[in-house]
Amino acid sequence: MDISQRSLGDLARDIPGATRVFHAHRLDFCCGGRHSLQEAALKRGLDPGAIASELAGLQAAPGAERDWRGAGNAALVEHLLARYHEVHRQQLPELIRLARRVEQVHGAKPDCPNGLADHLAAMQQELESHMQKEEQVLFPLLTQGRRQLQAPIAVLRFEHEQHGEALARLEQLAHDFVPPAGACNTWQALYRGLAQFREDLMQHIHLENNLLFEGLAEAGGAGSAAAPYQPEGKAQVAVAVTGEGAAVGRPATGCGCGGSGNGRGGCS
């Protein structure tokens, strides 16, 4: 099939390095992974043929990026936990701290991302709750070889879409992570960290949606892309699976600007 007619999720799964190309062109391959390359590129005013050529080049000369197809659920789950779950748990408290500092010091400036720290704190809570569902129920069942997991996977896919919406709001609040001229080091560090967080979260969701969950669907046992989300199932699964409402610490609201600031722009 012509590359441009294939879905972004398929391409991200099948061509190691494709996600880098999608990030560069701002194409959503995780939550928006069901759209074809042509459809997604045209929507952003891009040339699908040019992007297809970039991807074809990757296929001809594959890079060092690991191909997770065929790695097995246990290895993929181990990677998801170490590379994404633990990393998000380190990233978010620091990003919240930096955002609070920038808002406190620069709140009166027109480009200041006011509301960003609260938005990040809400994302942290949502993500923590979501990751606990995966860690406490779904991943153990998967690695034990259980296959009838349609209900929890439908819920997790739905939550991934919510994460995607939260990322879009994050980009909007933080002006697409482009700091204004003369931004202090804290502000620059914040936006660099946000860009990395966005990339990590999209890759995280891609590996779950397009490899882990899709692999189960192909094996005939789990909710595929076509599985409808059942709102009434969410609470049922959440309670059964996670004991939703488990204590999830909100980050401290106080901040001291550490590390990256050099005093310019009022940050220490």
- Residue with smaller CB distance to Fe ion, 106 or 163: 163
Smallest gap from residue 258 Cβ to Fe ion (A): 29
Residue 208 binds Fe ion (CB under 5 A): yes
- Residue with smaller CB distance to Fe ion, 28 or 208: 208
Smallest gap from residue 133 Cβ to Fe ion (A): 8
What is each CA distance from 103 to 121, 188, 197, 267, in whole angstroms?
14, 13, 19, 11
Burial of 39 (0-12, 13-18, 19+ CB in 10 A): middle
Pick out residues in 132-151 that bind Fe ion (CB under 5 A).
134
Query: What H or E segment, with its residue span, contains residue 187?
Result: helix 185-206
Asked if residues 198 and 163 have their Cβ atoms less than 8 Å apart, the reply is no
Query: Interior CA angle at 216 toward 211 and 220, to 5°?
Result: 140
- Residue with smaller CB distance to Fe ion, 10 or 134: 134
Smallest gap from residue 134 Cβ to Fe ion (A): 5
Q: In the chain, what is the straight-line distance between the N-terminal and C-terminal CA atoms, in Å? A: 55
- Residue with smaller CB distance to Fe ion, 58 or 217: 217
Smallest gap from residue 234 Cβ to Fe ion (A): 14
Taking CB under 5 A as the rule, which mask of x and - marks residues 72-101 in contact with Fe ion? Answer: ------------------------------
Q: Which stretch binds Fe ion (CB under 5 A): 21-29, 95-103, 140-148, 205-213?
A: 205-213
Determine the Cα–Cα distance for residues 98 and 104; give it in Å rounded to an integer: 10
Asked if residues 125 and 250 have their Cβ atoms less than 8 Å apart, the reply is yes
- Residue with smaller CB distance to Fe ion, 100 or 160: 160
Which residue ranges make up the site for Fe ion (CB under 5 A)?
A: 134, 208
